[in-house]
Structure formats: structure tokens, C-alpha cells
Structure 1
Amino acid sequence: MSAAHFRVLDHAAHAWFLLQSGTERFLDVNCNASAFGYSLLIRLDPDECAQVQQGGHAACDALATRIRDTASPRHPRDASRDHGEAVSDAIARWREESGH
């Protein structure tokens, strides 16, 4: 379980959520493999953060596509084990507050 506090910054329905915790940003990407779906929580590296800062929503779309193209349930950058519960809570809170 993570003690980190996450907040949703942006999203694309059924595709991804951009979240922030402190100074770190994460992209929670919805992926599919044959008959099952899963999500990957990727901590953005400095280059990816710069791309998102500069390109906004479109940059998140492009990054999510790249992640999906290389996705597997055991992706080496997946941070879901460490932060999955906190991210799920943040998304649920955001949905309730925003009406999404």
C-alpha cells in the first residue's frame, strides 16, 4: 500500500489518466491482451515529463500509444504494485468530484 497522495491532471476516456504525486508524474494506461484487460502505471522519466509539459494532452496520447505497443502485464516500469491502490483511490475521488 502506498502513502503517496495522487491527483488526476488529465485523462482520455477508456485510455489513460495522467496523475501527479509530489513532483512525480505517472501515466495510468488501459491495455488489452487478447481476452483480458489490465492497466499499467508508468512513472514518467524527465524526458517524458518534458514532452507532456510541452505537448499536453496530445503528448499523453502519443506516450500511452507507445506504452500500449510495448505492453505486457509484467512491464518492467509498471509501478502498480507500489501505487495502484492510491491511484485507484485518486481516480475514484476525481470521478466523484468531476462527475465523470
Structure 2
Amino acid sequence: MPKIGAASASAAAEEKLAPCALCCLLLVMKGSKRVWNLTKEAKYDLVAGDYLFTPAGDVHRVKYFEDTEFFIKWEGKWDIFFDEEMEAAKVAIDKEAEDGYQLIK
């Protein structure tokens, strides 16, 4: 199931959760943001017209560069867990230049 947040999410905890969505599609309508797929160690810069397809179970972190509107669609049940403290997320985002994640264009 899609999670937004903690890099410390464990695979063991994931296995205890009931299966939910098969996939998620995000389409940016206005604005821009960066999405880190913490599961795959990749990051994506998205602007209006861009989309991102994500399989269930991947963990993400998001930074908005400006007011952003987006459309999100998923198949099946879907849960979002906000399991990262705001300050921890800010620190991680501030270190983005040295995060080692591959920027996918």
C-alpha cells in the first residue's frame, strides 16, 4: 500500500498490512514538486502535465516548490500513512543534494 513518509518503514511491518491498491497514478495539474521514491531510491521532478505511476507498497516523500494541484487515481482500497515527523522530513529534504538518489527525468 502506498505510504508517504518514513524512510524507517520496515518490510516486516508492511507484510502485516492487508493488501490494498495495486497501483497509483498521480497527474500534476498545476505547480511543481519533487517526489522521492524511498523504496527504489529514485526521485522525480514533476511539473504541470507530468505524471507518476507507482506500485502499491512504495514509500514516498514529497516536497512542493509552489502551490500544486494534482489528480490522483488508484485501483482498489488505499491507505496513506503519514509516519514521519515534520521536522525529520524537513531535515531529510534539506539534505537532498547529497541523498544519492537517482533523478529520473
Q: What TM-score comes out, normalization by structure 1 length?
A: 0.28
Structure whose CA Rg is larger: 2
Instruction: Answer 1 or 2: which has greater helix percent.
Output: 1
Question: Which structure's relative contact order is higher, taking Cα pairs within 8 Å and 6+ residues apart?
Answer: 2
